[in-house]
Amino acid sequence: PNVSFDVSSGILEISGRSIPENSYQFYEPLLSWLDKYASQPQGTTELTFKLDYFNTSSSMYILGILKKLEKLYLAGHKAEVKWYYDIDDEDMLQTGEDLKQIVKLPIEMVELDAEEDE
């Protein structure tokens, strides 16, 4: 996937397809980075997921990223999550809804239509 984490703005975005051959190798540095960021976070941390597809091993790390942000949020820091899904992708919508039930974070579901997605 494409990853953009900007420490100075507190904006994190993960987009595209997440099907790394070795999810641990790909996501572990991001989780470590989040640990460092958590020691001096911005006033608001915004996490955006614009994924077309992700595999099972990626899903564990996506949840791990959300859990780290949840810790910040529960400690009193402002956090926002946007979960984008294609209007025709019921699986991605359901995954976002499921994640809303798992983590104590404000997750906004954002529907994309075909024109916005391109």
pLDDT digits (tens, 9 = 90+) for 2-13: 999 999 999 999
Two structure tokens written together for 28: 């572990």
Report which secondary-structure segment, H or E, holds 64: helix 56-74
Q: pTM for the complete prediction?
A: 0.93
Domain interval for residue 54: 2-117
pLDDT for position 116: 57
Question: What domain count does the chain have?
Answer: 1
Give per-residue burial for 30-64: e unless 16+ CB within 10 Å, then b: beeebeebeeebeeebbbbbbbeebeebbeebbee
Distance of alpha carbon 45 from the chain centroid: 11
Place 113 in a pLDDT band, splitting at 50, 70 and 90: confident
CATH number (domain holding residue 91): 3.30.750.24
AA identity, residue 14: I
Place 114 in a pLDDT band, splitting at 50, 70 and 90: low
